[in-house]
Amino acid sequence: MNKIELILTTLEKMYPNAKAELFYRNNFELLVAVILSAQTTDIAVNKVTPILFKKYPTPKLLKEAVLKDVENIIKTIGLYRTKARNIIKTAELIETHHNGEIPNNRKELEALPGVGRKTANVVLANAFNQAVIAVDTHVARVSKRLGLAKEDDDTLAVENKLVQLFPQDKLQKLHHQLIFFGRYHCQARKPKCYQCPLIAVCQYENKNLLK
Ligand code: SF4
């Protein structure tokens, strides 16, 4: 078994049910939820989106929303003022430029307020099954420790390497599995190297071998 197969098999054993923790029922809700999730936990976002989506279930309704009302609904999450403005403006652009449909390409997605490369990748992967992978802090750290990317690679370089190394049809789940692995096992400060099934292929120099 080569290294890539070993990583895939191990992550599948550890996190067979890894998937997005964000709540959404359609592409519009996915896009809004991902915009809201920047620098905030999925759990915090999931607490506000049921109320938000009940009141504003479509881009058409959200673009007409009063800013203060949206701010009130999402005020428990970080950067809520900016995010409230962004999702209203995004809804307006989706309605006026895209006939109410979420764009299925990076260029148009990244032109929406609050949508950067990571957000666009999450939408492209989850809504349109495209072979992309969003790289967050966990994905980047784990990729570097496992030698899938170089220490000084930026986010885009890590993303490109993962896309080249792994089969296309594995990327979507791999994204979630790497996040789980980084969050619960290979943490930034105290990785559980002493019980790591990937230690044989890991290139991290400061392994934590003591419990
Ligand atoms: S050996 Fe340690 S640093 Fe390497 S992947 Fe496992 S937990 Fe992470």
Site residues for ligand 1, CB cut-off 6 Å:
145-146, 185-186, 191-193, 196, 198-199, 202, 204, 207
Interval 153-201: pLDDT, tens? 999 999 999 999 999 999 999 999 999 999 999 999 999 999 999 999 9
Instruction: List the catalytic residue out of 69, 136, 153, 207.
Output: 136
Tell me the fold of 1-211: Endonuclease III; domain 1 (1.10.340)
Q: How many angstroms is it from 172 CA to the middle of ligand 1?
A: 22
Q: Are 158 and 140 contacting, i.e. CB atoms less than 8 angstroms apart? A: yes
How is the chain split into domains, by residue range? Answer: 1-211
CA dihedral 74, 80, 82, 88 (to 10 degrees): 0
- The string of pLDDT tens digits covering residues 117-153 is 999 999 999 899 899 999 999 999 999 999 999 999 9
Contact 203, 146 (CB under 8 A): yes
